[in-house]
């Protein structure tokens, strides 16, 4: 019988192998976004997929504004999932917000992870002195206002096309809009604030787990400067730039992502 944690995060375990790969999705997405990547690794690795609370087929009744007002709540969920499955020395592939969730989890219980793979990751989205995150506070205030005014219109008409890029492939934006539509607007807004107002730069130098940073060549949410910054601040890290447009390269350019991950895992 599925436990509370398995149900809460709609956890799915599949694949072959002794080494475990945990795939953690980003904002507005769910575990189905990893299907192309999973197909390439499931014959050699045990695969763990899950949905963050408030996304996909997670238990929306488990959502608590106080628990999930910061990314620490999501990090606690990840560690509870690892404990439930008795996972240690796993490899976490974290997209977007899940990269910082993985960072926090690794600082709390580093023995859970042998390697981290960050894709589309940012420790701070706001520009600062000697730091280019890509956004001004006025940009984010406008984003929150548009989300609050008409969530569906914001998702379909603006955010999904912006994040996915590849305008000649509209099916990508439609898929992303579809997973975003599942998220309640109040949960999406709370998570957006938690993500975009966060600053985890001071934590990066404390990370002891070896980390791969995958940076897309054209990502409207995470400019190339951020990937270089992460690589300069995380002690045991390496940066790989891939030829991919959009913030969700595992959907828009899965072959590039697979090559980057595979090359890192065989080192």
The whole-number pLDDT of residue 2 equals 67
Q: Are 79 and 5 in contact (CB under 8 A)?
A: no
Q: Which of 29, 58, 90, 96 is catalytic?
A: 96
Q: List pLDDT tens digits, range 145-178.
A: 999 999 999 999 999 999 999 999 999 999 999 9
Which tens digits make up the pLDDT trace of 22-31? 999 999 999 9
- Could you tell me if 261 and 235 are in contact, meaning their C-beta atoms sit under 8 angstroms apart? no
Residue partners of 12: CB distance under 8 A and separation at least 6: 31, 48, 49, 50
Q: What is the topology classification, in CATH, of domain 4-135+199-265?
A: Rossmann fold (3.40.50)
In the chain, where are the structural domains located? 4-135+199-265
Active-site residue flag, 247: yes
Which of the four pLDDT bands, split at 50, 70 and 90, describes residue 87?
very high
Catalytic residue among 30, 51, 77, 219: 219
Q: How confident is the model at residue 267 (pLDDT cuts 50, 70, 90)?
A: confident
Q: Does the pLDDT value for residue 1 go beyond 60?
A: no
Give the pLDDT of residue 31: 98
At 52 the pLDDT is 98
- Share of the chain residues as helix, strand and coil, in percent rounded to the nearest 5: 50, 20, 35
Q: Determine whether 96 is an active site residue.
A: yes
List 25, 52, 95, 247, catalytic entry: 247
Torsion of CA 208, 247, 199, 193, to 10 degrees: -140
User: Are 71 and 46 in contact, with CB atoms under 8 Å apart?
Assistant: no
* Nearest-angstrom CA–CA distance, 224 and 245: 12
Instruction: Say if CB 124 and CB 200 are below 8 A apart.
Output: yes
Mean pLDDT of the chain: 97
Coil, helix or strand at residue 98 = helix
Share of the chain above pLDDT 90, in %: 98
Look up 203 and say whether it is catalytic.
Answer: no
């Amino acid at each position: 019988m599925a436990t509370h944690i398995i149900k809460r995060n709609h956890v799915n375990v599949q694949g072959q192998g002794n080494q475990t790969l945990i795939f953690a999705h980003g904002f507005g997405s769910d575990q189905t976004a990893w299907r192309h990547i999973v197909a390439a690794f499931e014959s050699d690795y045990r695969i763990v997929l899950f949905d963050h609370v408030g996304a996909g087929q997670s238990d929306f009744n488990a959502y608590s504004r106080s628990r999930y007002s910061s990314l620490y709540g999501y990090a606690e969920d990840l560690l509870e999932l690892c404990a439930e499955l008795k996972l240690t020395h796993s490899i976490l592939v974290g997209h977007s917000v899940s990269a910082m969730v993985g960072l926090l989890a690794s600082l709390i219980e580093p023995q859970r992870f042998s390697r981290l793979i960050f894709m589309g990751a940012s420790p701070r989205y706001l520009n600062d002195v000697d730091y280019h995150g890509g956004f001004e506070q006025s940009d984010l205030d406008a984003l929150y206002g548009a989300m609050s005014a008409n969530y569906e219109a914001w998702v379909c008409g603006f955010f999904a096309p912006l994040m996915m890029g590849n305008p000649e492939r509209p099916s990508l934006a439609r898929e992303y809009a579809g997973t975003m539509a599942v998220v309640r607007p109040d949960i999406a807004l709370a998570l957006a604030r938690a993500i975009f107002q966060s600053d985890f730069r001071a934590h990066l130098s404390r990370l002891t787990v070896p980390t791969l940073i995958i940076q897309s060549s054209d990502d409207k949410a995470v400019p190339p400067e951020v990937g270089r910054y992460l690589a300069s601040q995380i002690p045991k890290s390496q940066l790989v730039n891939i030829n991919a447009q959009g913030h969700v390269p595992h959907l828009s350019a899965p072959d590039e992502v697979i090559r980057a991950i595979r090359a890192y895992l065989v080192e």
